[in-house]
Chains A and B, each alone.
Chain A
Amino acid sequence: MSKHEIKMTINGRSHTGTVEARVSLADFLRDDAGYTGVHLGCEHGVCGACTVIVDGKAVRACLMLAVQAEGSEVKTAEGLAAPDGVLHPVQQAMLDEHALQCGFCTPGVVMTLAALTGGRQKPTEDDLLAAMSGHICRCTGYQGIRRAAKRLAGTELGEKS
Chain B
Amino acid sequence: MTAVGISTGRYIGQRVQRKEDPRLLTGRGQFVDDISLPGMLHVAFARSPIARGNILSIKTDVAREVEGVHAIYTQQDLARFKVDMLNFYLLPPEMPITPLADGRVSYVGEPVALVIADSRHIAEDAASLVEVEYFEEDPVVTIADARRGPLVHPESGSNIVSQMGEEEISEELDALLKGAAHLITHRVVHQRISQSPMETRGIVATRDGTEELTLYITCQSPHMVARWTSLALGLPQTAIRVIAKDVGGAFGLKNHPWKEEVSVIIAALSFGRPLKWIEDRYENLIAANQAREQEMVLQVAFDADGRLLASHGDYSCNNGAHPQVADCNIAVHMFLWAAYKMPAYGFLTRGWYTNTVGLAAYRGPWAMESLIRETALDTAARKIGIDPVEIRRRNLVTLKDQPTASCMGIPIEDITPAECLEKLVAYFDIPGFRKEQEAARKEGRYLGLGIAAYIEPTGSAGSIATMTGELAQVRIEPTGMVTATMSTHSQGHGTATTMAQIIADRLGVAYEDVTVFEGDSSRGGFSPGAAGSRQGVIAGGAAIKASDLLADKVKQLAAHLLEVGREAIHIEDGMVHVIGAPEKSRTLRAIAEIAYGEPTRLPPGFESGLEAQYRYQPPPMTLTSAANACVVEVSGETGFVKILRWIS
Contact = CB atoms under 8 A, between A and B. Distances in A.
A37 B29 contact: yes
Interface in B244-265: 246-249, 251
A39 B199 CA distance: 8
B27 A138 contact: no
A94 B25 contact: yes
Which applies to chain B's interface (DSSP): helix, strand, loop or mixed? loop
B27 A78 contact: yes
Nearest to A92: B25
A130 interface: no
B198 A36 contact: no
A44 interface: yes
Given A20-B121, A41-B198, A102-B491, A77 B281 contact: no
A2 to B, nearest CB: 13
A136 interface: yes
Contact of B249 (A98, A104, A110): A104
A101 B26 contact: no
Given A41-B281, A95-B17, A107 B196 contact: no
Given A22-B121, A39-B248, A104-B198, A87 B25 contact: yes
Contact of A44 (B249, B281, B490): B281
Interface residues of B, number: 35
Interface in B27-54: 27-29, 31, 33-34, 36
A157 B411 CA distance: 57
Contact of B27 (A20, A105, A107): A107
B24 interface: yes
B27 A77 contact: yes
Q: Which of A42, A47, A91 has the most CB of B within 10 A?
A: A42
Nearest to B36: A31
Contacts of B280: 43
Contact of A100 (B24, B196, B247): B24
Contacts of B121: 20, 22-23
Nearest to B25: A91
Contacts of B29: 37, 103-104
Contacts of B196: 138
B26 A37 contact: yes
Interface in A82-110: 87, 91, 94-95, 98, 100-107, 110
Interface of B: 15, 17-18, 20-29, 31, 33-34, 36, 121, 196-200, 246-249, 251, 280-281, 490-494
Interface of A: 20, 22-23, 30-31, 35-44, 47, 49, 76-78, 80-81, 87, 91, 94-95, 98, 100-107, 110, 136-139
Given A40-B33, A139-B198, 6 more contacts: A31-B36, A91-B25, A102-B248, A104-B198, A104-B246, A107-B25
16 contacts: A31-B36, A40-B33, A41-B199, A44-B281, A47-B281, A49-B198, A77-B27, A95-B18, A102-B247, A102-B248, A105-B248, A106-B25, A136-B198, A138-B249, A139-B249, A139-B492
